[in-house]
């Protein structure tokens, strides 16, 4: 910390570089936790654990069942929802197996809220957050709260009339999580001291890749919501053709995009092809200039993610491969976002006075 001598007492000034490193480390921890909860969320979906806890108890729900009576009470609540009717032979031991996935998912969500809120208050109170940064960090906190509400809104869709959660709400929940992740990483990268200026066409291509990654994640959410990965388990052909029949059987036509299993899977395949082609062309173009370092790594990550997608499909959504595929999606998005932000100047530094002792 430096000081300024003036006509009066010595005034302490904050070291903005050190404060920014601290804030960036905190935001990177938050990003890692979001990546973790996306993967755990995928596991809850694949193990059909998402409806095992039928109540939203933000505080009391931290404590899991501790006695046989508690477990039986939780199980009896689950037995009242339509999903249980699909597997009436489920035992209490079976129920515990899915319960822990959902409980862990909700516990991690609560921990993310704590890891966002407490450091935010501490950093703010000690003057380590610049004025221009404050609304962005508050926005992250509000988005985390909104995500919790959307998560319960999703779960509630499967508790009364459906035997599963709505694919619309599941996709909203997943896409919002990825948006929060992107915003956290974008904010963190804006505090880095260095950047690589890029021409407008290069930045536009990087923006396109980020947009395509979001679209592909959205389409993947629909695939998960409809269990579309359990059908048409061949590649590169789908139902014996590159373009299968029956893509627009429902009326009106747009419902097929969200509710037709064949259309949803085909769109997800097509989105993967487009993302890979664009990232490959981008890497080839960027390799001729010094403007976009890392473009080749981005293309490789997209290729790896596409390969995981094919393997997941061919194995009829084997759990380890499916979770790696979900992890790959958020890694591609994370790299694409930070790659784009590195082309832009950092947030201007505004030197702030430290709080007086």
pLDDT digits (tens, 9 = 90+) for 232-277: 999 999 999 999 999 999 999 999 999 999 999 999 999 999 999 9
Q: What pLDDT shows up at residue 79? A: 95
Lowest-confidence segment of 52-66, 160-174, 176-190 by average pLDDT:
52-66
251 contacts 182 by C-beta, under 8 angstroms: no
pLDDT of residue 61: 84
Q: How many Cβ atoms are within 10 Å of 7's Cβ, its own excluded?
A: 4
Percent residues over pLDDT 70 in the chain: 94
4: exposed, middle or buried (Cβ count in 10 Å: 0-12, 13-18, 19+): exposed
Q: Tokens in use for 315? A: 């194995």
Nearest in space to 155 (alpha carbons), one of 145, 146, 164, 147 = 164
Cα torsion angle, 145, 147, 148, 149, sign = positive
Predicted confidence (pLDDT) at residue 221 exceeds the cutoff of 90 = yes
> Does 166 score more than 80 pLDDT?
yes
Instruction: Measure the N-to-C terminal CA separation of the chain; round to a whole number of Å.
Output: 14
Question: CA 216, 218, 219 angle in degrees (round to 5)?
Answer: 65
Q: What whole-number distance in Å separates Cα of residue 44 and Cα of residue 305?
A: 21
Residue 1 predicted with pLDDT over 80: no
Residue 109 C-alpha from the chain's centroid? 12
Q: How confident is the model at residue 9 (pLDDT cuts 50, 70, 90)?
A: very low
| DSSP class per residue in 55-69 | S--TTGGGSPP-SHH
The answer, yes or no, to whether residue 226 has pLDDT greater than 80, is: yes
Kindly report the backbone phi and psi dihedral angles of residue 241, in degrees, each rounded to the nearest multiple of 5, phi listed first. -150, 155
The reported pTM is: 0.92
- Distance between CA 165 and CA 158 in Å, rounded? 4
Using the structure block, give the residue that is written with the tokens 């395949």.
269
């Amino acid at each position: 910390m430096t000081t300024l001598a003036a006509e009066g007492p010595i005034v302490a000034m904050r070291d903005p570089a050190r404060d920014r490193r601290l804030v960036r480390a905190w935001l990177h921890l938050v990003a890692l936790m979001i990546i973790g909860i996306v993967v755990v969320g995928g596991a809850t979906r694949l193990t059909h654990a998402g409806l095992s806890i039928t109540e939203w108890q933000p505080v009391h729900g931290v404590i899991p069942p501790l006695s046989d009576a508690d477990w039986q009470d939780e199980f009896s609540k689950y037995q009242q929802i339509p999903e249980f009717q699909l597997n009436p032979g489920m035992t209490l031991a079976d129920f515990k197996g899915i319960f822990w996935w959902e409980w862990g998912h909700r516990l991690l969500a609560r921990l993310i809220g704590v890891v966002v809120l407490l450091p935010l208050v501490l950093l703010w109170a000690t003057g380590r957050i610049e004025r221009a940064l404050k609304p962005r960090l508050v926005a992250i906190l509000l988005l985390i709260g909104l995500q919790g509400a959307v998560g319960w809104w999703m779960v509630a869709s499967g508790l009364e009339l459906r035997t599963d959660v709505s694919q619309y709400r599941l996709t909203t929940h997943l896409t919002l999580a990825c948006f929060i992740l992107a915003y956290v990483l974008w904010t963190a990268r804006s505090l880095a001291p260095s950047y690589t200026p890029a021409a407008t066409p290069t930045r536009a291509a990087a923006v396109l890749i980020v947009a395509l990654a979001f679209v592909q994640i959205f389409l993947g959410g629909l695939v998960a919501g409809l269990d579309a990965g359990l059908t048409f388990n061949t590649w590169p052909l789908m139902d014996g053709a590159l373009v299968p029949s029956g893509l627009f059987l429902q009326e009106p036509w747009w419902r097929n995009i969200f509710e037709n299993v064949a259309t949803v899977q085909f769109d997800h395949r097509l989105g993967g092809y487009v993302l890979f082609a664009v990232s490959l062309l981008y890497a080839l173009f960027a390799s001729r200039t010094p403007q976009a370092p890392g473009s080749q790594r981005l293309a490789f990550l997209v290729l790896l993610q596409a390969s995981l997608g094919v393997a997941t499909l061919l194995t009829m959504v084997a759990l380890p491969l499916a979770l790696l595929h979900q992890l790959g999606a958020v890694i591609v998005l994370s790299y694409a976002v930070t790659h784009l932000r590195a082309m832009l100047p950092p947030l201007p530094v505004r030197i702030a006075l430290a709080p007086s002792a």
